[in-house]
Amino acid sequence: MDQTTVAVGSDHAGPEFKDQLIAYLRQKGFAALDFGIPAGTERANYPDVARKVAEAVARGEAQFGILICGTGLGMAMVANKTPGVRAAPCVNEFMAEMARAHNDANVLALGVRVIGPGLAHAIVDRFLSVSFAGGRHAERLALFS
Ligand code: RB5
């Protein structure tokens, strides 16, 4: 079976969490692409990181993206400007499940100042394991543009 590739990026709010998440994903059998920023970097502008990850997903280099910032909000706002990307900020597993099943989200945005690492991993697990339900939800996605 082909390996699922996940593009991951963080601003200065969570590079250490991003590095741990990449290790977690690899241990679970995913390929992970690191779009920075490196741990120890004092400051980064989240739009720069979000755009890089979103474009990697839009180009098909990664099936999914995970964006990490303080709240998950700014990253999702920027990523959603890239055509083909549907980014969802999620704070619990139900949101992650619905983001995949109903919205076919391909980018997950996490806020490391909102949730802890245990919940974040559970959200990631749910996001990456649930399939799009299609049917009426596909009809609704077709109405996006
Ligand atoms: C950076 O301080 C913070 O604004 C950013 O990580 C994010 O929460 C923006 O949405």
Residue 1: what pLDDT? Answer: 54
Closest CA to 14 of 120, 101, 107: 120
Q: Which domain holds residue 138?
A: 5-144
Q: The domain that contains 56 carries what CATH number?
A: 3.40.1400.10
Q: Whose CA is nearest to atom 10 of ligand 1?
A: 74
The answer to whether the pTM exceeds 0.95 is yes
DSSP per-residue letters across 89-126: E-SSHHHHHHHHHTT---EEEEETTTS-HHHHHHHHHH
Count of domains for the chain? 1
C-beta 74 within 6 A of ligand 1: yes
The residues of the chain scoring below 50 in pLDDT are none
Testing ligand 1's pocket by substitution, the residue of 10, 11, 77 carrying the most ligand atoms inside 8 A of its CB is 11
Residue 44: what pLDDT? Answer: 96
By annotation, the residues acting in catalysis are 69, 102
